[in-house]
């Protein structure tokens, strides 16, 4: 029971890491970005290649995954996303589906269709005793990462000038622009940050979900569920939703394997029925 | 460049020419009748999506749920109950209309994002269900062993797809005419109004939510009928007919043709299916790459797909 809960939480943390950037684009910038998983994949592949081909160790590769995904995100924001902030959601859906297709095809072309090989660093292998349970070190590491990122984001958004400007821009873009806040640049920075976090999540998912070219499509719905159920545009919402989704999914697979992915979808539909705007609707952040 | 002008009285002629051209495929391309039938069916499916998305503005990425539901309904009906084709169509229509009406209460409320998620969720739920209920749906092997009785008890479904084509053509034309009638009625105009500004429509007293629910229900029914036609003409229902990939595909077809324009879905289906058929031998990854580039280009350039292009080339004069 305890270990199922813990594994679910670890899984949820991973989902949170990847999805929190999506929550920013979806909720703050009102951009339906279905290609978010592609940024996670870009970061994950960067880490995998750095480790497998160039012999980097795990932690520098993690940093690299953040940087690469942020760079890719920044480039695409300048080239494509920026022009569609005010257009119809359908256009945004199509653009991002197009990006997903292109990324799947290109990654298959360059890296082959199979899963990226990955060996855990010795520091993170094995198990450690915690509160009377034998928990995997890697999972524990994921939980620590998730909590650190959550804390960092909350501090950044609630205690810094940058965060204050973002909150102002979210509450009312026009007024924020009127007071001289550079909304465009701010959005660029937030988008890049979100992509970087996704890349980090992608690299961390090497050891848990595995990374293959179809990653952005395979887990897309999961990320979207986390964001929508949690409440797009918040940080705490996706955190709570990711934990619930992680626990429901792992517990479902453990106790009710024949139900498969059902539980998650039923959970989502029921939650959105009761709370169409998510568990924690946006009120600032 | 001067656009060719077309008087509104000539418009029915152009429409008739379009359908005659499609019908002439029976004589001109006798080896490709199966493909032609599938193009027609996908075209009808795209038109049904257009009703919900292009006209009513309901953002849905799960429309394959209805297509697949209709296909399974018709397939199971033919396999276990009665192989007569028209009854299967009617059953699929009713089942999907009912499902669509029930789901419309979920879909119409909430913002675009919630709608998107609910439609995806329902689609995934149904495809998971079809995957699990192996003893009913055949699971990943698909529903096999559908043997259709002859149309009107006279015309057998043959190997070359001749009967299949005529039957599909007639049904698609009929349903398209009904859809055209619906979309050109005051109800269709109200949908357009809601698409442009739902607040304004509410202000002039239009029952916005009820209208959207009806549009979603009609759209679901037509999608189910298209699915049923697919099941009957191929005598097989694959699990992928329900999946999210099929939903994405039909969205691409509609956007390629031009959303919110009556013939957009049909035109998109013709071009997409023919190109897909050409590329079929090619590596599917390349196909994905090009379709992705195409989508990005369409969004960046704008202009409403093929119908948008056509509308710039051919201007219809204002009726007086």
ipTM score: 0.81
Give A-chain residues touching B110 at CB under 8 angstroms.
272, 276-277
DSSP 3-state assignment of A233? coil
Residue B264 has pLDDT above 60, yes or no: yes
- Is the predicted pLDDT of residue B282 greater than 50, yes or no? yes
Which chain B residue has its CA at the smallest distance from A79's CA?
B300
Give CA separation, B231 vs B41, B70, B81, B174, in Å: 10, 8, 15, 18
pLDDT at B164 over 90: no
Q: Is the dihedral of CA B200, B201, B207, B208 positive or negative?
A: negative
Residue A59 has a CB neighbour count (10 Å cut-off) of: 11
Q: Let me know the angle formed at the C-alpha of A93 by A182 and A208, rounded to the nearest 5 degrees.
A: 90
Q: Where are the alpha helices (DSSP H) in chain A?
A: 2-23, 36-54, 58-79, 89-111, 137-159, 161-171, 173-178, 183-204, 215-218, 220-230, 236-255, 262-274
Positive or negative: CA dihedral A119, A125, A126, A129: negative
The pair of three-digit structure tokens given for residue A245, joined into one six-digit string:
């989704």
Tally the domains of chain A.
1
Return all residues near A98 (Cβ < 8 A) that are at least 6 apart: B291, B292, B293, B294, B295, B296, B299
A30 in helix, strand or coil? coil
**B294: contact with A, CB 8 A cutoff:** yes
Cα separation, B123 vs B117, whole angstroms: 10
* B314 domain-assigned: no
Parallel, antiparallel or unpaired: strands B4-6 and B314-316: parallel
Alpha-carbon gap, residue A210 to A14, rounded angstroms:
12
Three-class secondary structure of residue B4 per DSSP: strand
Banded model confidence at residue A282, pLDDT cuts 50, 70, 90: low
CB B61 within 8 A of CB B244: yes
Using a CB–CB cutoff of 8 Å, tell me whether A277 touches chain B.
Answer: yes
A263 pLDDT band, cuts 50/70/90, is confident
Q: Are B52 and B214 in contact (CB under 8 A)?
A: no
Could you tell me which residues are beta bridge partners of residue A133?
Answer: A130
| Residue in A257, A264, A77, A251 with CA at minimum distance from that of residue B117 | A264
* Residue A125 C-alpha, separation from nearest chain B C-alpha, in angstroms: 34
Q: Are A218 and A103 in contact (CB under 8 A)?
A: no
Tokens (6 digits) for B158: 């043959």
Pairwise CA distance, residues A35 & A103, whole Å: 9
Q: CB of B130 within 8 A of CB of B137?
A: yes
Is residue A235 pLDDT above 90, yes or no? no
Report CB contact under 8 Å: B296, A99. Answer: yes
What is the reported pTM?
0.85
pLDDT at B46 over 90: yes
Q: Quote the pLDDT of residue A283.
A: 56
CB within 8 Å of chain B, chain A residues 75-94: 80, 83-84, 89-91, 93-94
Q: Which domain holds residue A73?
A: 2-284
pLDDT band at B269 (very low <50, low <70, confident <90, very high): very high
Q: Does B295 touch chain A (CB under 8 A)?
A: yes
> What phi and psi, each to the nearest 5 degrees, are found at residue B280?
-55, -35
Residue B222: is its pLDDT beyond 80?
A: yes
Residues B183, B178: Cα–Cα separation, whole Å: 9
Domain contains B81: yes
Residue A261 is nearest to which of B128, B248, B286, comparing CB atoms? B128
- Write down the pLDDT at residue B290: 84
Question: Is residue A180 pLDDT above 80, yes or no?
Answer: yes
Which 8-state DSSP code applies to residue A123?
A: G
Q: What is the mean pLDDT of residues B182-205?
A: 88
Confidence label for A15 from pLDDT (cuts 50, 70 and 90): very high
Average pLDDT of A15-41? 86
pLDDT at residue A113 in the model: 84
With tokens 């009748």, the residue in question is: B33
What mean pLDDT is predicted for residues B5-11? 73
Q: Is residue B293 part of a domain?
A: no
Decide if B292 contacts A98 (C-beta within 8 A). Answer: yes
Whether the predicted pLDDT of B159 surpasses 80: no
Question: Residues with Cβ < 8 Å from B122, sequence gap 6 or more?
Answer: A265, A269, B62, B65, B103, B106
Q: Mention every residue, 6+ apart, whose C-beta is less than 8 A from residue B253.
A: B42, B46, B265, B268, B269, B272
H or E element: which one contains B5? Answer: strand B4-6
Query: Does B1 have pLDDT greater than 60?
Result: no
As for how many domains chain B has, the answer is 1
3-state SS, residue B303 = coil
Q: Is the pLDDT at B73 greater than 60, yes or no?
A: yes
Residues 6 or more apart whose Cβ sits within 8 Å of residue B221: B48, B66, B93, B94, B96, B97, B100
Instruction: For residue B290, tell me if it sits in a domain.
Output: no
**pLDDT for the residue B235:** 83
Under 8 Å CB-to-CB from B88, ≥6 apart: which residues? B73, B74, B77, B78, B82, B228, B231, B232
- pLDDT, residue A253, reads 83
Structural domain range at position B96: 27-253
Lowest-confidence range among A105-114, A181-190, B9-18?
A: B9-18
The pLDDT of residue A285 is 44
B75 within a domain of the structure (yes/no) = yes
Residue B148 and residue A42: Cα distance in Å, rounded?
A: 49
Does residue B9 form part of some domain? no
pLDDT tens-digit series, residues A125-161: 777 777 777 778 888 889 999 999 999 999 998 889 9
3-state secondary structure of A182: coil
Q: Per the CB < 8 Å rule, is B121 touching A273?
A: no
Is A89's CB within 8 Å of B53's CB? no
Task: Tell me: pLDDT of A284 over 50.
Answer: no
CA distances from B182 to B108, B168, B172, B190, B257 (A): 19, 21, 15, 11, 20
Of A80, A108, A221, Cβ closest to residue B124: A221
C-alpha B314: how far from chain center: 25
Computed from CA positions of residues B99, B104, B105, B111, in that sequence, does the dihedral angle turn out positive or negative?
positive
- The nearest CA of chain B is from the CA of A164 a distance in Å of 26
A101 and B288 within 8 Å at the Cβ level: the answer is: yes
- pLDDT at A151 (0 to 100): 93
What distance in Å separates residue B295's CA from the closest CA in chain A?
5
Could you tell me which chain A residue has the CA closest to the CA of B126? A262
Of B277, B287, B280, B306, which Cα lies nearest the Cα of B36?
B277
Percentage of residues of chain B with pLDDT beyond 90: 26
The pLDDT-based confidence of B274 (bands split at 50, 70, 90) is: confident
Q: Do B59 and A93 touch (CB under 8 A)?
A: yes
CATH number at residue A85: 1.10.3470
Question: What pLDDT is recorded for position B3?
Answer: 65
Query: Span A3-28, mean pLDDT?
Result: 86
């Amino acid at each position: 029971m305890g270990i199922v809960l813990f594994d679910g939480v670890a899984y949820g943390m991973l989902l949170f890491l990847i999805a929190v950037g999506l929550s920013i684009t979806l909720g703050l910038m009102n951009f339906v970005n279905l290609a978010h998983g592609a940024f996670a994949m870009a970061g994950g592949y960067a880490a995998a290649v750095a480790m497998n081909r160039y012999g980097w160790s795990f932690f520098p590769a993690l940093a690299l995954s953040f940087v690469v995904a942020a760079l890719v995100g920044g480039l695409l924001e300048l080239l494509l996303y920026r022009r569609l902030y005010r257009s119809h959601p359908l256009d945004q859906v199509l653009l991002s589906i197009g990006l997903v297709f292109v990324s799947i095809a290109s990654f298959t072309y360059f890296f082959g269709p199979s899963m990226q090989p990955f060996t855990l660093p010795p520091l993170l292998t094995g198990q450690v005793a915690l509160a009377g349970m034998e928990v995997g070190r890697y999972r524990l590491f994921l939980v620590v990462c998730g909590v650190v990122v959550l804390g960092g984001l909350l501090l950044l958004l609630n205690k810094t000038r940058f965060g204050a400007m973002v909150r102002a821009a979210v509450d009312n873009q026009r007024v924020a622009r009127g007071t001289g806040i550079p909304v465009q640049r701010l959005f660029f920075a937030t988008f890049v940050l979100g992509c970087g976090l996704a890349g980090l999540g992608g690299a961390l998912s090497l050891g848990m979900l595995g990374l293959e070219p179809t990653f952005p499509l395979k887990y897309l719905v999961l990320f979207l569920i986390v964001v929508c159920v949690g409440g797009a545009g918040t940080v705490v919402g996706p955190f709570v939703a990711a934990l619930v989704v992680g626990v429901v999914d792992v517990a479902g697979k453990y106790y009710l394997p024949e139900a498969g992915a059902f539980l998650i979808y039923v959970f989502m539909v029921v939650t959105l029925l009761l709370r169409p705007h998510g568990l924690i609707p946006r009120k600032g952040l | 460049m001067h656009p060719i002008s077309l008087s509104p009285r000539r418009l029915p002629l152009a429409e008739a020419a379009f359908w005659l051209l499609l019908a002439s495929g029976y004589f001109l391309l006798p080896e490709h009748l199966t493909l032609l039938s599938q193009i027609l069916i996908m075209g009808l499916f795209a038109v049904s999506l257009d009703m919900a998305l292009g006209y009513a503005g309901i953002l849905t990425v799960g429309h394959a749920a209805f297509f697949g539901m209709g296909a399974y309904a018709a397939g199971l009906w033919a396999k276990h109950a009665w192989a007569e084709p028209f009854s299967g169509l009617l059953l699929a229509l009713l089942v999907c209309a009912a499902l669509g009406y029930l789901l419309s209460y979920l879909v119409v409320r909430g913002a675009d994002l919630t709608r998107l998620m609910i439609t995806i969720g329902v689609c995934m739920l149904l495809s998971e269900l079809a995957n699990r209920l192996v003893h009913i749906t055949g699971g990943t092997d698909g529903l096999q062993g559908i043997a259709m009785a002859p149309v009107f008890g006279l015309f057998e479904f043959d190997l070359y797809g001749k009967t299949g084509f005529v039957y599909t053509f007639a049904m698609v034309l009929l349903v398209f005419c009904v859809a055209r009638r619906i979309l050109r009625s005051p109800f269709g105009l109200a949908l357009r109004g809601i698409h442009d500004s739902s607040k304004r429509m509410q202000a002039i007293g239009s029952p916005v939510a009820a209208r959207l629910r009806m549009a979603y229900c009609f759209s679901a029914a037509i999608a189910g009928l298209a699915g049923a036609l697919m099941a009957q003409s191929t005598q097989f229902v694959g699990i992928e007919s329900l999946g999210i990939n099929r939903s994405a595909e039909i969205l691409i077809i509609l956007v390629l043709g031009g959303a919110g324009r009556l013939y957009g879905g049909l035109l998109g289906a013709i071009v997409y299916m023919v190109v897909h058929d050409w590329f079929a031998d090619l590596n599917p990854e390349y196909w994905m790459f090009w379709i992705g580039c195409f989508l990005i280009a369409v969004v960046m350039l704008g202009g409403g797909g093929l119908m948008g292009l056509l509308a710039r080339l051919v201007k219809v004069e204002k009726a007086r």
